[in-house]
Structure 1
Amino acid sequence: MPSLYLLPLVLLPEGWALALLLLSALVLGLPHGAADLLVARRLGWPLLPFVGLYLLLALLPLALLLFYPQAGLLAFLLLALLHWGRVEGKGPLGYLRAGTVLLFPFLLHGERIAPFLQAFVGGFALPPWAALFLLAGLFLWALRQGASPRLWGDTALLALVAALAHPYAALAGYFLLQHSLDSLRLVGVRGRDWLPVYGATFGAILLALALYPAFRDPLAAYMAAVFALTLPHALAMEAWLRRPLPPARWPAPGR
C-alpha cells in the first residue's frame, strides 16, 4: 500500500495509536505470521514437526529478552529490520524503509516510547546517535542501488509519517498496511485459508496473555510475543521466498 495512505496517522493521539497497534494482534498483524502454517503445507513439510520446531525456535528470542533484556531489544530491532526489509522486496531501499519505522522512535520520539521501554526492557533504549548511524548507513547503501524516483518518493512519505506521527501509529500503520499485507500477498492467503490462519492467531494471542505477568503491560507483552514468533516466521518466509518456481496450482507470489 502506498505510504500516502499512512499520512492520516499523524493525526492520531497516543491512545488511538496504541489501540491501533494492539488491534494488529487480531487484524493482519499476528495473522500474517500465522499464515506460516500454509507455507509449511505448501512446501510439503510435515505439520507436527514444523509446529514443534517453530515453538522451539520461538523460545530462543524469548529467553534472550527475559534474561538479557538489553540484548533482547537489540536483537528484536535487528531481526525486524532484516525480516521487514527482506519482505519489502525492494533491495537496499526496503531495508532503509524498515529502518525508518524501527529507528526513528529512538531518534525523534524517545520520551514517547520511554514508558513502553521501561516495561519491555527496564528502560534501556538505543542511543539516538546509534540510530542515526544505522540510518545513515542504510541510506548510503540504498543510494548505491539506484531505485526509481517513485520508490524514493514513497520512502520519503514513509519517513514523514515516522517523523510526525506518534511512534505507535507509525509502527502500526507500517506493520498492518505494508508489511503484513505484503506477507499475506506473497503467501497467497485467500478464502478458506483464513480458518487455519486465525486458529494459529489465537495461539499467538494466548502466548501474549501468558507473558503479561512478566511485563505487566499489554503492549510489552504483545511485543514480546511478536519478538518470539518473528524468528521462526522469518525463517519460514525465507524458505517460501527461496522455493523453486511453483506449479501453476500454487498461489502466485503477489509481485
Structure 2
Amino acid sequence: MPAYYLLPLVLLPETWALGLLLLSALFLGLPHGAADLLVVRRLGLPLLPFLALYLALAGLLLALLFHYPPFALLLFLGMALFHWGRVEGRGALGYLRAGTVLLFPFLFHQEAILPFLRAFAGGFSLPPLAAGTLWGLLLLLALWEKPGARALGDTLLLALVAALAHPYATLAGYFLLQHSLDSLRLVGVRGREWLLVYAGTLGGLLLALLLYPRLLDPLAAYMGAIFALTLPHLLTMELWLRRPRPPARWPGTGR
C-alpha cells in the first residue's frame, strides 16, 4: 500500500487516531489474525491440537505481560518488527518500514504514548537512543540491498507520516492498510470463509474485554490481547509462508 494513502492521518487529532486504532479490532486488524483458522484448514492440520497449542502460547505471553511488563513490551516490539517485515516481503526494506512505524513513537512522540506505556508496561519505555540506533541499522541494511528509488521514496514518505502524525494514527493506518491487508491476501480469504474469520475475531475481542479490568485502559487491553496472540499468529503465518509449493510450470510446455 503506497504511503501517500496515509498522508491524511497527519491531520487526525488524538481522539480520532485512538478511535481508528480501536476500530481495527473489528475491521481487518483482529480479523487478519483470526484467518489463522483458514491456514490450519488449508494446511490440513488437526484443529483441536492446533488450538490447544495456540492458546497455550497465548497464555504464556499473558503471564509474561502480568509479571514482567517491560520485557513484554520489548518482546512485543521485536515480534511485530519481525512479523510485519516478513509479511511485507520486501527484504530489509520491509523491516525498515515496520521499524519506522514501531520505533518512531519512541523517537518523536514519547509524551503521546505515555498513558499507554503506564498501563501496559508500568511506564517503561524504549530509550530514544536505542530506538534511533535500531532504526539507523535497519536503514543501513535496506540501503545495502539497493532498493529502487520509488520503493525507497515511499518508505521515506512513510517515515515523514510517522514523524508528523499522532502515533496511534500511524499505527492504525499501517496495521489496517498494509499489514492486515497483506496478510489476508496471502491467506486468500474468500466468500463464506469470512464467517469463520469473524467467529475467530470474537475470541480476540473477548480476550481484550477480560484484560480490561486488570489494565484499566482500552488501548492497553486491546494491545494486550494482540500481544498474547502475536506469537502463535506469527508461527502460523510462518508455516503458511514456508509451506511446500508445486514447482512453477515451464512456459508453453503445459507442465
Tell me if TM exceeds 0.5: yes
- What does residue 3 of structure 1 align with? 3
Deviation at 1:60, TM superposition (A): 1.8
CA distance in structure 2 between the aligned counterparts of 1:104 and 1:169, rounded to whole angstroms: 12
Question: Which deviations, in whole Å up to 9, do the C-alpha atoms of 1:121-164 show, x marking residues without a partner?
Answer: 11110000000010011111111111111110110111111001
Q: Which runs of 5+ in 2 are unaligned?
A: 249-255
CA distance in structure 1 between the aligned counterparts of 2:208 and 2:246, rounded to whole angstroms: 35
Q: TM-score, normalised by structure 2?
A: 0.96
CA distance in structure 1 between the aligned counterparts of 2:181 and 2:92, rounded to whole angstroms: 20
3-state SS of 1:147 partner: coil
Question: Which deviations, in whole Å up to 9, do the C-alpha atoms of 1:30-49 show, x marking residues without a partner?
Answer: 00000000000000001111
| One-letter amino acid matched to 1:147 | P
Deviation at 1:101, TM superposition (A): 0.1
| One-letter amino acid matched to 1:125 | S
Deviation at 1:247, TM superposition (A): 9.5
Question: Which deviations, in whole Å up to 9, do the C-alpha atoms of 1:193-252 show, x marking residues without a partner?
Answer: 10000000001100000011110000000000000000000000000000111599xxxx
3-state SS of 2:26 partner: coil
Q: Which runs of 5+ in 1 are unaligned?
A: 249-255
- What does residue 120 of structure 1 align with? 120
Give the direction of change, closer, same or farther, for the CA distance of 1:191–1:246 in structure 2 (3 Å limit): farther
Deviation at 1:57, TM superposition (A): 0.9
- What does residue 18 of structure 2 align with? 18
- What does residue 32 of structure 2 align with? 32
- What does residue 245 of structure 2 align with? 245
Deviation at 1:65, TM superposition (A): 1.1
- What does residue 188 of structure 1 align with? 188
CA RMSD of aligned residues (A): 1.1
- Within-5 A mapping of 1:189-208: 189-208=189-208
Give the direction of change, closer, same or farther, for the CA distance of 1:54–1:194 in structure 2 (3 Å limit): same
Runs of 4+ displaced beyond 6 Å: none
- What does residue 141 of structure 2 align with? 141
Question: Does 2:85 correspond to 1:85?
Answer: yes
Question: Which deviations, in whole Å up to 9, do the C-alpha atoms of 1:80-121 show, x marking residues without a partner?
Answer: 000000001000110010000000000000000001111111
| One-letter amino acid matched to 1:91 | G
- What does residue 165 of structure 2 align with? 165
Most deviating of 24-33 and 48-57: 48-57
CA distance in structure 1 between the aligned counterparts of 2:153 and 2:206, rounded to whole angstroms: 40
CA distance in structure 1 between the aligned counterparts of 2:100 and 2:184, rounded to whole angstroms: 22
Deviation at 1:14, TM superposition (A): 0.2
CA distance in structure 2 between the aligned counterparts of 1:189 and 1:106, rounded to whole angstroms: 35
- What does residue 94 of structure 2 align with? 94
CA distance in structure 2 between the aligned counterparts of 1:128 and 1:83, rounded to whole angstroms: 22
| One-letter amino acid matched to 1:88 | E
- What does residue 236 of structure 1 align with? 236
Percent pairwise identity: 74
Larger-gyration structure (1/2)? 2
Q: TM-score, normalised by structure 1?
A: 0.96
